[in-house]
Amino acid sequence: METCPKCNSLLRISETTLTFENDNTPLLPTKAYYEHKMVCINPECDQYAGEDLNNPIVVVGTIKNKVN
């Protein structure tokens, strides 16, 4: 689990999007990834995402997970 680099709180997933790699070439196998936007939900932190997690003010980081 990822933690905030500023306040060490656990980060929450704000938004997950599906992205593809190699989908523009037939020579390589297409790979699908979930990209998770990670946000800090600590109101004391200056990286705080704000009240609306679906529309965060600050995104701390992104995690990419391969779709099986």
Residues that bind Zn ion (CB under 5 A): 4, 6-7, 9, 40, 42, 45, 47
Least Å from the CB of residue 55 to Zn ion: 18
How far is the CA of 51 from the CAs of 13, 35, 56, 68, in angstroms? 14, 22, 8, 33
In sequence order, the 6+-apart residues with CB closer than 8 A to the CB of 55 are: none
Q: Which two three-digit tokens encode residue 31?
A: 């790979």
Q: Taking the complex as a whole, how short is the minimal distance between the CB of residue 35 and Zn ion, in angstroms?
A: 20
Least separation in angstroms between residue 7's CB and Zn ion is: 3
Indicate the residue among 31 and 62 with the shorter CB distance to Zn ion. Answer: 62
